[in-house]
Amino acid sequence: MTTYEEKSTLVLEGAPRYLDAFAISVDRNYRMSWHVELLAKKLEEALRKVERGEKARLIICMPPRHGKSDLASKKFPAWVLGKHPDWPVIATSYAADLAVKFGLGTRDLMNSKLYQEIFQGTRLRADQKAKGNWLTDAGGGYNAAGVGGGITGKGFKIGIVDDPFKDRAEAESKLIRDNVWDWFRGVFYTRQEGIAAIIVIETRWHKDDLVGRLLEKEEADRAAGEPDFDEWDVIELEAIAESKEEFRTKGDALWEDKFPLPILRNIRNTVGLYEWSAQYQQKPISSEIQEFRREWFEPYEPNVLLTLPGLKYYTLVDLGHKDSKEAGAREPDNTCVRTIAKPATLPHWYLIEEDAGIMDPGATLDAIFAHQKRYNSEVWVEGVGYQRALEYFAREKMKRDQQVFNFNLLTRNNSVSKHERIRGIIPMAKNRFIKVRSNGEDEAMIREALDFPKGKKDDRIDALANALEAVNPTQTPKKKKERKQYTPLSREIGG
């Protein structure tokens, strides 16, 4: 059995090679988690790229107080200088004082006895006592500066921009966003010493913040066929997972030990969706183009459903497409299976359950069948080519599972664009007729609505828009005739 002392020795031995082992070695109070290990590996990769003579570009977007700055802006520079004491490092933040604070932490770490045991070849120059600007005996060093400040005459092999915006007011100011962008391109970017690593660390504030502009430029350069451009490796971690990930499932907290779900939900309730979406979920909302409003989506408690007359359930299916033809599409669409409840004598829609993500036909059918069985719902599927491909598999699954129901075809999306369909539910939302779950499970759909029409994703809100046809299937005579000509799967099977 490995003793505590043996474990400590193993960690110390790994410290020169692995950033996470280094962090644990020099900080006895350091709290490790899977997301911190992931961040450490990405920073290690950035260093190795530069060592191989390749440029490195890394974006880190994480919620506040989740350890990104402590590892990336304090411990990482110390680790780099331990391995490469002749390298220059520049670290910047929205204020010079904060960058200097990072530099002080790095300097004190490098002066510690443990650090000097790990990296015996790296020492600070005796005459270097400044908190944020100092050199090593080998000529490398650390320079701290505020975003927008001058760093003329200084260069870097490792350049860090940590939180370029101080607060919401700065992020909302187009003038300040422009100034940050101009400084990044015209000042910071030009201080690279040949092959270098650039690391941008942000808690997101705005779609047009520094990270937003960097990713937009990358996309534009790629589309234009530029021969050489910055391709960013992006770590984007949500406080509460909105879909299944490699290390956690939907609904899991990012750092359960420090920020358990009840704490995160309390934060969400206190700060509101606008701040929560940006700072904690890394999905800022562009208020300038909003057509929907947050206050339109009123939450309901589950027991309310017991008081509503004649509830009828509808399962609405918006199918993802590998090659989306929608204008502005940047990546494969999600498939969304959404069930709503409609009272017989009320105009309201109650959002009940949702499955969304990149799904193959089998997973899509599993979700549809599960919703239909659970709620005895009418099923309405988007009428596109992919829907036709589902028919055979649906027939077989109905026979195998002994679960027979009408597989209704939505036809409105053949003649009405996605944006028109979505705008069709604005009156419903504006009149507070769309009720969302009080547990926050519909936040992703609400965010898509608030970011419409400029958001990267709109599949959840588009699935909901299909209810306009499903709930009122006889509104358009022409569409009614088309449906009469369609043979439901249950009829073909004999149901």
For the domain that residue 462 is a member of, what is the CATH number? Answer: 3.30.420.240
Q: Within this chain, do residues 9 and 151 fall inside the same structural domain, yes or no? A: yes
Nearest CA among 153, 156, 173, 155 for reference residue 164: 173
Q: Which residue has the higher pLDDT, 329 or 88?
A: 88
Q: Which residue has the higher pLDDT, 132 or 252?
A: 252
Mean pLDDT, to the nearest integer, of 303-323? Answer: 87
For residue 454, what are its two tokens? 């400029």
Integer Cα distance of 273 and 259 in angstroms: 18
Q: Within this chain, do residues 25 and 164 fall inside the same structural domain, yes or no? A: yes
Look at residue 139 and tell me if it is in a domain: yes
Asked which of 193, 213, 236 is the last residue of a domain, the reply is 236
Counting Cα atoms < 13 Å in the Cβ hemisphere of 221 gives 13
Look at residue 379 and tell me if it is in a domain: yes
Integer Cα distance of 360 and 362 in angstroms: 6
Q: Within this chain, do residues 212 and 321 fall inside the same structural domain, yes or no? A: no
Mean pLDDT, to the nearest integer, of 235-245? Answer: 90
Q: Within this chain, do residues 326 and 217 fall inside the same structural domain, yes or no? A: no
Q: Within this chain, do residues 204 and 327 fall inside the same structural domain, yes or no? A: no
Q: Within this chain, do residues 14 and 103 fall inside the same structural domain, yes or no? A: yes
For residue 163, what are its two tokens? 């939180």
Range of the domain at 475: 288-493
Mean pLDDT, to the nearest integer, of 337-350? Answer: 96
Mean pLDDT, to the nearest integer, of 258-262? Answer: 95
**Quick one: pLDDT at residue 443?**
87
SS (H, E, C) the chain: CCCHHHHHHHHHHHCCCCHHHHHHHHCCCCCCCHHHHHHHHHHHHHHHHHHCCCCEEEEEECCCCCCHHHHHHHHHHHHHHHHCCCCEEEEEECCHHHHHHHHHHHHHHHCCHHHHHHCCCCCECCCCCCCCEEEECCCCEEEEEECCCCCCCCCEEEEEEECCCCCHHHHHCHHHHHHHHHHHHHHHHHHEEEEEEEEEEECCCCCCCHHHHHHHHHHHHHHCCCCCCCCCEEEECCCECCCCCCCCCCCCECCCCCCCHHHHHHHHHHHHHHHHHHHHCCCCCCHHHCCCCHHHCEEECHHHHHHCCCCEEEEEEECCCCCCCCCCCCCCCCEEEEEEEECCCCCCEEEEEEEEECCCHHHHHHHHHHHHHHHCCEEEEECCHHHHHHHHHHHHHHHHHCCCCCEEEECHHHCCCHHHHHHCCHHHHHCCCEEEECCCCCHHHHHHHHHCCCCCCCHHHHHHHCHHHHHCCCCCHHHHHHHHHCCCHHHHHCC
Look at residue 133 and tell me if it is in a domain: yes
**Quick one: pLDDT at residue 384?**
65
Look at residue 283 and tell me if it is in a domain: no
With beta carbons less than 8 A apart as the criterion, state whether 453 and 378 touch.
no
**Quick one: pLDDT at residue 193?**
93
Q: Within this chain, do residues 9 and 146 fall inside the same structural domain, yes or no? A: yes
Strand 192-202 versus strand 56-61 pairing type: parallel
Look at residue 258 and tell me if it is in a domain: no
Mean pLDDT, to the nearest integer, of 126-131? Answer: 73
Most confidently modeled range among 61-75, 312-326, 330-344? 61-75
Summary mean pLDDT of the chain: 86
Mean pLDDT, to the nearest integer, of 257-280? Answer: 90
Mean pLDDT, to the nearest integer, of 66-71? Answer: 92
pLDDT, tens only, 102-123: 888 899 899 999 899 999 989 9
Q: Within this chain, do residues 216 and 307 fall inside the same structural domain, yes or no? A: no
Report, in angstroms and rounded to the nearest whole number, the Rg of the chain calculated over CA atoms. Answer: 27
With beta carbons less than 8 A apart as the criterion, state whether 193 and 156 touch.
yes
Integer Cα distance of 129 and 110 in angstroms: 12
With beta carbons less than 8 A apart as the criterion, state whether 328 and 316 touch.
no
Look at residue 39 and tell me if it is in a domain: yes
Amino acid letter for position 429: A
Inform me whether the pLDDT recorded for 219 exceeds 90: no
The domain total for the chain is 2
Q: Within this chain, do residues 225 and 295 fall inside the same structural domain, yes or no? A: no
Asked which of 194, 215, 236 is the last residue of a domain, the reply is 236
Q: How confident is the model at residue 89 (pLDDT cuts 50, 70, 90)?
A: very high
Give the CATH number, domain containing residue 14.
3.40.50.300
With beta carbons less than 8 A apart as the criterion, state whether 241 and 259 touch.
no
Asked which of 196, 217, 236 is the last residue of a domain, the reply is 236
For residue 463, what are its two tokens? 């699935």
Q: Which residue has the higher pLDDT, 125 or 333?
A: 125
Look at residue 255 and tell me if it is in a domain: no
**Quick one: pLDDT at residue 353?**
95
For residue 348, what are its two tokens? 């309201």
Integer Cα distance of 43 and 198 in angstroms: 11
Q: Which residue has the higher pLDDT, 333 or 38?
A: 38
Report the interhelical angle of 34-51 vs 76-83 (nearest 10°).
40
Inform me whether the pLDDT recorded for 127 exceeds 50: yes
Q: Within this chain, do residues 225 and 322 fall inside the same structural domain, yes or no? A: no
Q: Within this chain, do residues 296 and 214 fall inside the same structural domain, yes or no? A: no
Inform me whether the pLDDT recorded for 67 exceeds 70: yes
Inform me whether the pLDDT recorded for 156 exceeds 90: yes
Inform me whether the pLDDT recorded for 286 exceeds 90: no
Integer Cα distance of 439 and 452 in angstroms: 23
Integer Cα distance of 134 and 123 in angstroms: 11
**Quick one: pLDDT at residue 330?**
46
Look at residue 204 and tell me if it is in a domain: yes
Inform me whether the pLDDT recorded for 39 exceeds 70: yes
Inform me whether the pLDDT recorded for 263 exceeds 70: yes
